[in-house]
Amino acid sequence: MLFNSLSFIVLFLPITTLGFFLLARRSQTWAALWLAAASLFFYGWWSVEYIPLLLASVTGNYLLGRRLPGSARRRWLVLGVSGNLLLLTYFKYADFFITGINAVAATQWPLWHVVLPIGMSFYTFTQIAFLVDTYHGKVKEYRFVHYLLFITYFPHLIAGPVLHHAEMMPQFARLATYRFSRANLAIGGSIFVFGLAKKVLIADHLAPHANSFFGQTEPQTLLVAWGGVLAYAFQLYFDFSGYSDMAIGASRLFGIRLPLNFDSPYKAASVIDFWRRWHMTLSRFLRDYLYIPLGGARKGSLRRHLNLLLTMLLGGLWHGAGWNFALWGLLHGAYLMVNHAWAALAARLRFPVGAAAWRMPAAALTFAAVCVAWVFFRAADFSQALLIVGAMAGHNGASLPEALAPRVMGIQPMLDALGITFHVGGGTRFVQTYAWVAVAAAIAWLMPNTQQIMARFEPTLGARWPAWLPNRRWAVGMALLSLACLLSLGRPAEFLYFQF
C-alpha cells in the first residue's frame, strides 16, 4: 500500500487514526495493539506470506534483547547481530554472491531468485541498533507490545527512517500520545501534503525523462546526458524527500514524532555536509554502528580514510546487491577522503573554506560530484555508466536538437565557438526535460524545505518564509494543494527507495 494511493489516503489512514484514538479512551494497550495490527495489515497489503517472517524477526530479536542484560551478554549480542545479517544476506545478496562466484570460478551454479521482502533492510537495521543499544545499557523499556509497534510502525516500516529504540519507546508509553490533538492533525496533515506534492507533482513528472534517458543504448551528447542525469538526480531527491515528509506527517497524526531524514542535501557545500543531510538516519546508523566501532578517526588519518571507504562501500551495498551500488559507495568514500584531506590542508594554510564567497562554487562542485555518482547508482550496468559519464565529460561532443535551431539563431556564433552542433530529433523531450529540471532546481535551491516552513511548530531549523500558520489562508492553500495532488494521482508510482 503506497502513501500516494487513494486506498491509503482515503481509507487506511483515516480508519487507523480514528480507531487508535477511540480505543485509546479505553486502553492504551489496546490502542497500541490496534496500531501494530494496522501496520501489519499495511505490510501484508504487499504480500501476506512475508508477515510470519516479519513477526518471527520481531519476536526473536525481542527475546534476544531480554537476554542481553544477563550473563553471556557478548555471546547473545554476536548471535543476534549475526542472525539478522545472515537473514538479510540470504534474501538480499544470495544471487549477488552466486553471480560473483560464477564469474570468478567459471562455474554455472543456478541462481536462487530469492524475493527480497519489502522493508527488510530497514527493519533489520533498526533491530540491530536495538540489540547493540540494549548491550550498552541504553534500553530501559521492554514491553513487547511497544517493541512490536516500534518495529512494525507503518510510517517507517517500508523505507525508513532507521529508528533508535530510545527515541520511539518513550513516546509509546507517554499518556499524551493517546490523546487526540487538533494541532497534531493540522501539522501532520500539512507535512503529509507537502510530501505528497513533492512525489506526485514533481518526482513523478521527472521520472519519464530520467527513465527515457537511462533506457537508451545509443551514445548521447553532453547536453542530453546532463539533462537525463539531472532529471534522475531531482527525481530521486523529491521522491525520497516526499516519502520522508509523508512518513513524518502520517506519524504526527498519532502524536508520534519521527526523526528528520532529509535536510536539503543539494544545498550542501561539501560531501561531508551532504551526508549529514541525505538519509540522515542511515548516515547516523553507519556512523554509530560501523564507522565508530571500526575505529573512526581515533587511530590516525590513514585508518580514518580506510574506515570511511569501508563504511561507504557497505553503505552502497546496503542499497542494493550489485557492483554498481558498491562502486557508488566507493565513490562517495573517495569523495569523503578527499574532503577530509582538503579540510585539513585548508586549515593549515588558513584558507577560508567557510567564507560566504566560497559557498556557491563549493555547493556547485559538490552537486556535480553527487550527480556523477548517481549515474552508477541508476545505470543498468557498469558499461552504460561509463558511457554516460563520458558523455557528461563531453567525449561525444555537445549538440542541441535540430528543432531548436530556428529559435537560437541569434546566438549561433556563440554556439559555434563553443562547438555546439545540432542533431536530428528529440526537440520536445529535450525542452521538457530541462524545463522540469529548472522547476525542480528552483524549488530545491531557492525555496525553504518542509522543516523550515513548519519551524514555528517544530523548532529544529530556523523559520523561513513562507512559514506555516494555522490560519484560513494556509487552510485554503493546503486544500488547493491537496486537490492538485489528488487529481494527479492516477496510477500511483512506487517510491524509489522501496527497492532497497
> For 98-125, what is each residue's pLDDT tens digit?
988 998 888 889 999 998 898 899 999 9
CA proximity to 7, closest of 498, 483, 491: 491
Angle at the Cα of 266 from the Cα atoms of 260 and 272, rounded to 5 degrees: 75
Clarify whether residues 131 and 214 are in a common domain: no
Q: Calculate mean pLDDT across residues 258-266.
A: 93
Give a yes or no: residue 459 inside a domain: yes
Q: How many residues does the chain have?
A: 500
In a shared domain, residues 164 and 190: no
d(C-alpha 58, C-alpha 37), whole Å: 14
Quote the pLDDT of residue 460: 62
Q: Are residues 118 and 251 in the same domain?
A: no
- Which residues does 144 contact at the CB level (< 8 Å), separation at least 6? 62
**Residue where one domain finishes, among candidates 180, 208, 234:** 180
Which residue in 319, 340, 395, 423 is the catalytic one?
A: 319
Q: State whether 371 and 398 are in the same domain.
A: yes
Tens-place pLDDT, residues 428-455: 888 999 999 999 999 999 999 999 999 8
**Count of H-run helices and E-run strands, the chain:** 22, 2
Percent of the chain whose predicted confidence (pLDDT) is above 70 = 97
User: Which helix (H) or strand (E) element contains residue 485?
Assistant: helix 472-488
Check residue 469 and give its pLDDT: 86
Residue 161's nearest CA partner among 243, 268, 70, 255 is 243
In a domain, 329, yes or no: no
* Domain-embedded: residue 228: yes
* pLDDT of 279 over the 60 cut: yes
Active site residue 305: no
Considering the domain architecture, whether residues 62 and 15 belong to the same structural domain is answered as: yes
Q: Do 191 and 173 share a structural domain?
A: no
The CA distance from 74 to 67, in Å, is 10
Indicate whether 89 and 198 sit together in one domain. Answer: no
**pLDDT at residue 335 greater than cutoff 80:** yes
Low-confidence winner among 39-53, 72-86, 231-245, 456-470 (lowest mean pLDDT):
456-470
**Quick one: pLDDT at residue 54?**
95
Nearest to 425 by CA among 405, 441, 453: 405
> Do 73 and 156 fall within a single domain?
yes
Indicate whether 399 belongs to any domain: yes
pLDDT at 421: 80
Q: Are residue 166 and residue 210 in the same domain, yes or no?
A: no
pTM of the full predicted structure? Answer: 0.93
Looking at the predicted structure, is the pLDDT value of residue 68 above 90?
no
pLDDT mean over 310-333: 93
Residue 7's CB: how many other CB atoms inside 10 A?
A: 12
Q: Is the pLDDT of residue 26 over 90?
A: yes
Nearest 5°: phi and psi at 262? -155, 125
Residues 189 and 167 in one domain: no
Q: pLDDT class for 399, splitting at 50, 70, 90?
A: confident
Task: Give the per-residue pLDDT at 378.
Answer: 94
Which domain-ending residue is among 146, 180, 214? 180
The SS3 call for residue 292 is coil
Domain that holds residue 93: 6-180
384 belongs to a structural domain? yes
CA-based nearest residue to 62, from 156, 164, 142: 142
- Which region among 112-116, 399-403, 479-483 has the lowest average model confidence (pLDDT)? 399-403
Q: How many CB atoms lie within 10 A of CB 278?
A: 23
Give the 3-state secondary structure of residue 422: strand
Tell me the pLDDT of the chain averaged across its residues: 91
Q: Does some domain include residue 289?
A: no
pLDDT at 459 over 60: no
* pLDDT on residue 463: 58
Residues 175 and 203 occupy one common structural domain: no
How, if at all, do strands 398-401 and 420-423 pair? parallel
Please check whether residues 144 and 229 belong to one and the same domain.
Answer: no
For residue 116, give the amino acid letter: L
Write down which residue in 152, 180, 208 finishes a domain.
180
Single-letter code of the amino acid located at 386: L
In this prediction, residue 212 has a pLDDT band, given cuts at 50, 70 and 90, of very high
User: Alpha-carbon distance 186 to 241, whole Å?
Assistant: 20
The number of domains in the chain is 2
pLDDT at 422 over 90: no
